Amino acid sequence: MKLMVLNGPNLNRLGKREPHIYGHKTLEQIMNSLESIARESGCEIDARQSNHEGELIDWIHEAAEGYSGLILNAGAYTHYSYAIRDALAGVDIPAIEVHLSNIYARESFRHTSVISEVTIGQISGFGNIGYELALKGLLHYLKGEEN
């Protein structure tokens, strides 16, 4: 089983960018840890990051052609990118939305996710462990396990 993990704008700055909000680990460290957990779970992840909306959309389209599921931290695009929302709606694979911080405890503009209605779930506020929770939730969903 192969899963795609997409990270949006500014996530390449993790570890340096507002560590009091986003933590001290880099995206590379978080993805390396997630890859280990994925291998232990019998799956493979393909982790990518881009600051460009169109590239994320292209990768979402690519995910539909050979991946079982998608984990997406769209960063600020979460709150206003109808193009990413439509890309997710236009592919037939399950996606989980991840946020390192609790977007509902921050500025009011962050309280709205335009992509959440086209995902199977959202994980927010658990820091880098949110990716692990998303992986476990997505695998649970894909295996058709009971809730």
Question: What amino acid positions are annotated as catalytic residues?
Answer: 22, 99
- Rounded to whole angstroms, the Cα distance separating 125 from 141 reads 21
Contact assessment for residue 111 and residue 102, using Cβ atoms and an 8 Å cutoff? no
> Which SS3 state, helix, strand or coil, does residue 90 take?
coil
